[in-house]
Amino acid sequence: MRPFLFALIGWACLTVSAGAGPAAPTAAPQLPPSNVAAAPKAPRAPVWEAKLPSFSEPSYDAAVETLITRFEQATGKRLAPGPKKKVGLKIYTDSGPGMATPVPLVQAVIAALERRGFDKEGIFLVGLNQLRLRMTGYLPALVTGQTPFKGHPVYVLESGRFYDPVWFYDSPLPQRFDPIFAESQTKDFSNSSTKDEDRKSFLATPLFLDADFWINLPVYTDHPTLGVNGALVNATLWNASNTARFFRSPANAPAAVAEMSAIPELRETWEFTIASLEHYQFIGGPFFNSLYTQSEPLLWLSSDPVIIDSMMLARMNMWRKRYGFPPISEDIRTLEYAEILGVGSTKVASAHIIDVRP
């Protein structure tokens, strides 16, 4: 294993300003020097796996209900409404149509939550970009005005209305434009914001302040800077403002993902991740390219986002090899950094996969 180059990593922390507002959280763990012990490792969480007979809503509905029931039985925790009576669903639409969280999956998760006592208005969706949310069916079509999620609030993070100025991740890196198209959008623009604005990424608060818990529903692509664009990234960089600045350095983005995923307040309400393999892309991401996509009739549920990302990394590299492409660079250390901070495990060979039959 190659030594960690901690000198290249921008140190950062979660910061809450003084004064009124939520109680000050514990600072997000920082990546330790090589001579300091890593965070204590929690017991490895299993990955529950269901095979889908099709990608229809009934198939998703049966699989999701079975997976959640098995999770509840194993943990002793029922996903019922708490004091806030709200639950958040973090979806992914930022690669556009063809590579977004499947609508039937989200409908199945909503149905399972409604069976457990949540009201329609208490189940909200969180996405990043209004145009791509509309293009993928999560916001009403401009022509028909119809949406399969009528009655469910959909929070568009790029509107800027869901960031709290007292909750931010502090790191001295350049500013953000659009995180998906950052490289092309930032090259011809000068930086007109202040240094203080540049170093802060404001965290979207609905998931960890407004909800009893939230569920991560990523889609998988490769990423030239992050390696795997999946569970960890959907919960962190695609859930904050001013994040394209991290992509200017290959060392900064992986460290930011790892540190943000270890923020206690975010982790406490992050119940689990459900990932569908209905479609995933192994090269050319995050821009959608149908030539390099694969599909498997599998649905995974786990409270360990690192092991799911690691399992997908192995799949992506397998397909890249078959198509004659090199594997995702081992120099991208996103998953290893997250493991060091105690977020989860990268040990795919010893992953505890539980086969679940709806």
Domains delineated in the chain: 6-14+48-356 (3.40.50)
- Apex CA 164: angle with CA 120 and CA 119, to 5°? 10
Give me the residues of the chain with pLDDT under 70, please.
1-43, 160, 162-202, 241-250
What is the structure's pLDDT at 306? 98
| Residue 47 near residue 304, CB atoms below 8 Å | yes
CA separation for the pair 112, 70 (Å, rounded): 13
pLDDT of the residue at 119: 97
Q: Which residues contact 308 (CB under 8 A, 6 or more apart)?
A: 47, 230, 231, 273, 275, 300, 302
pTM of the model: 0.81
pLDDT given for residue 155 in this prediction: 93
pLDDT of residue 266: 85
Rounded CA gap, 219 and 235, in Å? 12
Q: Looking at residue 243, what is its pLDDT?
A: 57
As a whole number, the mean pLDDT across the chain is 81
Q: Three-class SS of residue 145?
A: coil
CB 311 within 8 Å of CB 275: no
CA dihedral 184, 185, 190, 195 (to 10 degrees): -110
Amino acid at 11: W
Q: How far apart are CA 97 and CA 117, in angstroms?
A: 32
Helices (H), 236-286: 252-261, 264-269
> Please, are residues 339 and 298 in contact by the beta-carbon 8 Å criterion?
no
